[in-house]
Amino acid sequence: GETYPFYGEHQAGIQTPPQDHLVFMVFDVTTTSATELQVMLAKWSAAIAQYTQGLAVGTVEPERELAVPGDTGEAAGMGANQLTVTVGFAPSMFDGRFGWAKYKPAVLNDLPAFASDALTPEFTGGDICVQACASDPQVAYHAIRNLARMARTTATTRWTVQGFGRASRSADQATPRNLMGFKDGTRNIVGDDEFAQQVWVGADSDQQWMTGGTYLVARKIHMLIETWDTDYIGDQHAVFGRTKMEGAPLSGAAEFDTPDFAATGADGKSVIPANSHVALAAHENNGGTKILRRGYNFTDGIDSVGRLDAGLMFISFQHDPAQFIALQQKLGSMDRLNEYIRHVGSGVFAVPPGLAAAGDYYGKALF
Ligand code: HEM
């Protein structure tokens, strides 16, 4: 459909089938007034309720010549284009500035450092994340831009990534490809049962306000594309443990064949190398741990020395950041893929549940 419902048990943009475009922005809250923060979150909630239904907030051309337009205008007449906007709070929001310390979920802490991290301050940290996804990039950007505009004097933009192609799939979507040319999202979380087990925070959480919410991990991952492009195909297969065109596990023939991590070849070695990306990340080899991957391909053009600056804006959702941490502790130290990627940005955010009805707003339970 063209629009996704805004109100509901969970925020949209998580179980929603990934749209084609992303604008991800992280804000620093500059005010120390809890009331100003509250007003901003209430304004954002009301505005997002409108934007996601294809409606504007304020007019593009006010009647009075001296009035400033309420809406910036670039998405006028474009419709909702499947827009979803998802909001999350970083650990820093619970440091006491706004009286939220007692509401800090025990599991919400800055991520630990991982082996092979190459984080830069330009793409790390911040207080509030906003993920806008849509089938049209201008519609996604319009929403973020106008939220930033509304936040002026209360919050400033800290970092942003624009994603131009989805790199994950839901149950009934074809699997897209990441910029390494491999199908990405083949074995992703699908279905309500798996979402309940692995993604949504249950009523057993230490913070009741998080019931129905989830935790978002963002990692801006730069790909060393030139190096990757000189690697021979057999090695590319070994890096992921899958084939490139079909996306089949090296132990099988078709994309959705279940990988057989125990299969060995004539040389006695594992058919799916033990240090391949999928062997290290698969739930079979991680005590059943799964995460919802909902990442996007990005490019920032070329870097200061003329190399392609591109990669994967990795976004995952899980009911406990420990799920991501356990996987990345393994991947960061053992993954063959590390030769070709650098994690340059990072953030972790508590994503509250969906809003109930008009008048509800993000973080209402915390004021
Ligand atoms: C699977 C690419 C980073 C977790 C895959 C697959 C590809 C891929 C091609 C196989 C197809 C599929 O099942 O989706 C990449 C690239 C990355 C990256 C290019 C970085 C640029 C990460 C990170 C994590 C992760 C940081 C988590 C810490 C997983 C998981 C699977 C997977 C859990 C499914 C494994 C399975 O069940 O077989 N990834 N990935 N990936 N990746 Fe990544």
pLDDT exceeds 60 at position 214: yes
Mean of pLDDT values over 186-211: 97
Q: Are 128 and 26 in contact (CB under 8 A)?
A: yes
Closest ligand 1 atom to residue 286 Cα is 33
| Residue 296 neighbours by CB under 8 Å, 6+ apart | 21, 22, 24, 161, 163, 164, 165, 166, 167, 312, 313, 315
Q: Residue 225, class by beta-carbon neighbours within 10 Å (0-12 exposed, 13-18 middle, 19+ buried)?
A: middle
Q: Quote the pLDDT of residue 269.
A: 93
Distance 136 CA to ligand 1 centre (A): 26
Residue 125 — left, alpha, or beta (φ > 0 → left; ψ -120 to 50 → alpha)?
left
Distance 293 CA to ligand 1 centre (A): 8
Mean of pLDDT values over 101-116: 97
| Distance between CA atoms of residues 220 and 240, nearest Å | 19
Q: Quote the pLDDT of residue 1.
A: 57
ipTM of the complex: 0.99
Is the shortest distance between the CB of 278 and ligand 1 below 6 Å?
yes
Per-residue pLDDT reduced to its tens digit, 67-104: 999 999 999 999 999 999 999 999 999 999 999 999 99
Distance 238 CA to ligand 1 centre (A): 14
Mean pLDDT, the chain, rounded, equals 97
Distance 227 CA to ligand 1 centre (A): 19
CA-nearest residue, atom 29 of ligand 1? 281
Q: Quote the pLDDT of residue 169.
A: 97
Distance 121 CA to ligand 1 centre (A): 25
Which of these, 122, 166, 158, lies nearest to 140 by C-alpha position? 166
The domain segmentation of the chain, as residue ranges, is 21-355
Q: What is the CA radius of gyration of the chain?
A: 21
Q: What is the pTM (predicted TM-score) of this model?
A: 0.98
222: pLDDT confidence band, cut at 50, 70 and 90? very high
Q: Quote the pLDDT of residue 111.
A: 98
Is the shortest distance between the CB of 103 and ligand 1 below 6 Å?
no
Mean of pLDDT values over 218-244: 98
